[in-house]
Structure 1
Amino acid sequence: MGDAEWSGDGGLLGAAERAFRPAASATAIAVVTPYEERTALRGSDDRSAFEIGSISKGLTGMLYRHAVERGLVSPTTTLGDLLPLEGYGDVGAVTLGSLAIHRSGLPGLPPGMHPLRRSLGFWIHGQNPYGDSLAALLDQVRTVHVGAPRPRYSNLGFQLLGHAVAKAAGSSYPQLLQDDLGPGFSTPARVEDLGPADLTGCDRFGRPMQPWVGEAIAPAGGIRATIGTMRGFLRSVLDGAPPGMSALDPVTEFAPRVGIGAGWITLEHHGRRITWHNGSTGGFNSWIGLDRDAGTGAVVLSAVHRSVDRQGFRILEEFTAPLAAPSSVVDDEPTR
């Protein structure tokens, strides 16, 4: 795949080639505007499934907000109301609302999972540092200390949020995800669950990395999707169609001049208000962003562990130029 050429739709090919210099392997890009949808592919096709990493948190935020809208939970519902956490100290008192905005006081990872040992296995051997069952995750949080409710990005928080919301819905996380947001998203719990369309990611040096699969990690970073699924998701969000859309609306400040809704981040980029999230796993990176005022969105999926944030913001900006007729998006370099 390293020598593959870009294929796809018109002007997006030029944008992809400009954004990815040197060329990237196993990459898929989609852009959705008020007038059209475009896709560009390199080393992959419409059936290729990528790990989307922490974009999973944005989807989990939407599941949470939909559960609130249905009256299944409220922002003050606690983890202990939904998960078997009796005798787990303060963890059971953590609210779903605080988890959704990364302000729960939970650490990024539970000490009980021995993150240092797992990190060494990841960096040295490319091993999956996740892979736990939900039961194992709950056992790992038994000794977790809940700190001050300040902004702190937490994989653990979103793992617990997703599984708690699923419990409230009388479902499993994978089933709730498909019921609410569509069957195109997959959450493999084991390597054996992967199929021929699931890509193998690599690190920045080209070394194949183990897939990040596992029941526990799904709500925070274990979802896979094709570019077609992500393009359809973009279109539905821009149209305001999926349940839990309020997850995209910022409700508090996560950092200076950075707002957060339920998982989704909002900031100003070159004078435009962008709602976005990125993702990174052992062998994949991803980015999704929306200019909701312009009705434009972009997604980038890559099967290599190298940030695609810069490329995502650039591509979104190229196709968000002043709202005009579709002919304003052509193969030429836009005027800046």
Structure 2
Amino acid sequence: MSPAARPPGLGPATGDFALVARIEPLLRSASLTDRVGVAHLRRGDLTVAHFGAQANTVYEIGSVTKTMTASLFADAVTAGEIDTDTTLGSVFAVTGQADAVTMEELVSHRSGLPRVTGRRRDLARAVVAALRHRNPYVADVRALLAAAGDAKLVDRGTFSYSNLGMALLGQALARRGGTEYPDLLDRRLFGRLSMSRSTTPLTARDQPPGALTGWSASGHGEEAWSMNAYAPAGGVRSTLDDMARYAAALLDGAAPGVDALEPRWDAGDGRRVGYAWFVDRIDGATVTWHNGTTGGFSSMIALDRDRAAAVVILANTVAMLDEIAIRLLLERD
């Protein structure tokens, strides 16, 4: 896709007629274009709507991947394979302040680590890649650990969102499991939930031919992102069908590591955080959620566990999906 190209309009709608009618005006008001998938689950009843897409259209889900890494962690804790207070330094030979950071601090964004690497050369490369509408996440595990070793912790123990921290957690889980992160995710989550079209490409070579790309908020075509060592923080590609399976399993307790959903710490502004998941009180309901953004994609998953309801929205346009998803989630019959 050429960066000079312009995005097409929102694609033709298929799926549940009532859901299409409710959601289409909201998508258009958010300037969503090209392909969008919406799944609405309530007490086991699933309805879907697609715009220019199908059930097997593959999207980048961005930081919603963090909830999957959190599931792997919670599952490993339950199985006695790792402890919440296991330190990063006990898994990797990390120097500096990050040595003593615990797995539980990583999964809850309370490690004090920066959002991404603080190494100037790495930051400069990432900025140039982003300006050229290319994938900025090319660091391998060695570079990731070097970034951790150089990092200065700030306000450790308080909430501060960190892609670096979640990437380190996922790589530590993979190291403890004697495998690579994509294989661990395939075996411990995707395989168990029959999420057969979900993948975690680490490099451009892992992308399938013709992989769907997306559009920035300003309408530029973006390269597909393969996040290499940062994959546990945002590297999964998935379909609406697979993500609906994931949401259903979270609601009925069948998902591995479902304890990740439980709110445990203050994240500011009345928000709580569990293992990656955010929890807000909105209009009298408890909403458990996570969103995601890559160069050309947006995603949102929101759960109302009390009403056994969930909404998933996937799009190949960068846009704010949170309000749309929560509005749909909290609609009353």
Q: Using structure 1 for the length normalisation, give the TM-score.
A: 0.90
In the alignment, what sits opposite 2:173?
Answer: 165
Distance 1:17 1:92, change over 3 A: same
In the alignment, what sits opposite 2:3?
Answer: none
- Counterpart pick for 1:9 among 16, 34, 54: 16
Q: Quote how far apart the aligned CAs of 1:300 are.
A: 0.4
- Counterpart pick for 2:265 among 240, 249, 252: 252
Map 1:27-106 to 2 at 5 A. 27-85=36-94, 88-106=95-113
CA contact (8 A) 2:174 2:180 kept: yes
CA contact (8 A) 2:227 2:234 kept: no
Residue 60 of structure 1 aligns with an amino acid whose one-letter code is T
Residue 283 in structure 1 maps to residue 296 in structure 2: yes
Q: Quote how far apart the aligned CAs of 1:123 are.
A: 4.4
Q: Quote how far apart the aligned CAs of 1:3 are.
A: 5.4
In the alignment, what sits opposite 2:5?
Answer: none
- 1:216-264 deviation digits (Å, cap 9, x = unpaired): 1110011110111001111111111011000000111111321111000
Residue 98 of structure 2 aligns with an amino acid whose one-letter code is V
2: CA distance between counterparts of 1:208 and 1:224? 18
Residue 144 in structure 1 maps to residue 151 in structure 2: yes
* Structure 1 residue runs without a partner (length 5+): 322-327, 329-336
* Structure 2 residue runs without a partner (length 5+): 1-7, 191-195
- Counterpart pick for 2:118 among 103, 106, 111: 111
Q: Quote how far apart the aligned CAs of 1:66 are.
A: 0.6
Distance 1:113 1:307, change over 3 A: farther
CA contact (8 A) 1:128 1:212 kept: yes
- Counterpart pick for 1:155 among 157, 163, 172: 163
Of 276-285 and 104-113, deviating more is: 104-113
2: CA distance between counterparts of 1:12 and 1:127? 35
CA contact (8 A) 2:56 2:197 kept: no
Q: Quote how far apart the aligned CAs of 1:172 are.
A: 1.6
Map 1:164-203 to 2 at 5 A. 164-182=172-190, 183-196=196-209, 198-203=211-216
CA contact (8 A) 1:91 1:146 kept: yes
Task: Give the 4+ runs in structure 1 shifted more than 6 A.
Answer: none
In the alignment, what sits opposite 2:142?
Answer: 135
Q: Quote how far apart the aligned CAs of 1:55 are.
A: 0.5
CA contact (8 A) 2:97 2:149 kept: no
Q: Quote how far apart the aligned CAs of 1:35 are.
A: 4.1
Residue 172 of structure 2 aligns with an amino acid whose one-letter code is A
- Counterpart pick for 1:18 among 17, 25, 39: 25
Of 186-195 and 293-302, deviating more is: 186-195
Distance 1:192 1:64, change over 3 A: same
Q: Quote how far apart the aligned CAs of 1:116 are.
A: 4.3
2: CA distance between counterparts of 1:126 and 1:51? 15
Q: Using structure 2 for the length normalisation, give the TM-score.
A: 0.91
2: CA distance between counterparts of 1:50 and 1:70? 31
Q: Quote how far apart the aligned CAs of 1:197 are.
A: 6.3
Of 291-300 and 123-132, deviating more is: 123-132
In the alignment, what sits opposite 2:327?
Answer: 314
1: CA distance between counterparts of 2:268 and 2:64? 19
Q: Quote how far apart the aligned CAs of 1:307 are.
A: 1.5
CA contact (8 A) 1:67 1:169 kept: no
Residue correspondences, number:
318
SS in 1 for 2:247: helix
CA contact (8 A) 2:35 2:316 kept: yes
1: CA distance between counterparts of 2:237 and 2:39? 16
Distance 1:217 1:300, change over 3 A: same
Q: RMSD of the alignment, in Å?
A: 1.6
